[in-house]
Amino acid sequence: MQFIRSLLFFAATVVASAIPSQASSGPAKAGDVFEILLSYENSSETNGNSSSESSGHTTIIERVLRIDENGLELEYEEPLEKDGRDKRNTWQLPARIFRPFEGESSLLNAAELEARVDPWLKKAKFPREACEQWIFTWSAFKIECDPASALGIVEQYDLWPANLSEGQLYHDADALIPVPLHLRDSDETGSTYAVELPIDPDKVKQTTAKSAVIVGNIMREAKSLEDALKEQDAHKISGTISIVIKTNLAGLIIKRAKITTLRVEKPDGEVEDSVSSVVVKRELVVGPQAPKAQ
């Protein structure tokens, strides 16, 4: 079950918001369309011996519908297959999101998504009673039926805001404190920023405890969150979050690489070391600066 726990921890890590303290749309324009690729690699080992690894990638299309003084209206959808076939099957997409420059994002087409739930359940042969339950096939999978779950999906690909600067405070949901950005270099293609943040041990314990509850439910070995948290109290947690961000000349973020290094020391002497890498890349496919077809 270590593999399941790793997947669940990755899921929590990848959706953690990581944003500078001030936001703007930068050079983005209404009508721009981006293809965003997310790739991840996870590895862990216990006492330098037993280990597990996982990796993968996903892609999403992001459309800029509108920009005003308060934020951006964005639409996200799954891409077509390379041969043009439509094999899209995520009921939460397309989703229209308002991404404010300050505050939390909101879902704009919740009623539309709600209407897709029952057809999706029927196609997948899940009863309504299965909603919000976790199952295990090739990986741990939660049967989502709440339209708000679309926000968690698109948050993984969020490369806003833009216009970063040296010394700007950078926040990450898994970090203990915000840390100023460092301008690593700047050239004719854009700028590269870097930051290293200390991991928040309490956040790790909470995430691990929730994962333990989910694993227990899947294995039909019920465990309360309170008991799972008590087990985590005796663990010593340490680690760092290293982030490198690449922007183009206009200040738009085109790549973010996040590496989380974690060590968990248990009272019985067991030590688990893990590394999680998440890279998000954005390419403009429709817009004034998009590459021209050959």
What lies within 8 Å, CB to CB, of 262 at 6+ separation is 199, 204, 237, 238, 239, 273, 274, 275, 276
pLDDT computed for residue 10 by the predictor: 46
- Please report the pLDDT score of residue 293 as a whole number: 47
Question: Which residues are 54's β-sheet partners?
Answer: 42
**Span 68-85, pLDDT tens digits:** 999 999 999 999 877 666
CA–CA separation, 198 and 175 (whole Å): 6
Q: Please give the pLDDT value at position 292.
A: 52
Q: Where exactly are the structural domains of the chain?
A: 2-286
Q: Cα-flanking dihedrals φ and ψ of residue 221, to 5°?
A: -125, 80
Assign 272 to helix, strand or coil.
Answer: strand
Q: For residues 56 and 106, what is the distance between their CA atoms, to the nearest angstrom?
A: 28
Q: What is the pLDDT of residues 18-28, one digit of tens each?
A: 555 444 455 78
Q: Can you list the residues of the chain whose pLDDT is less than 50?
A: 1-17, 21-24, 293-294
Tell me which residue of 61, 65, 62, 69 sits closest to 25, measured CA to CA: 69
Note the pLDDT of residue 86. Answer: 64
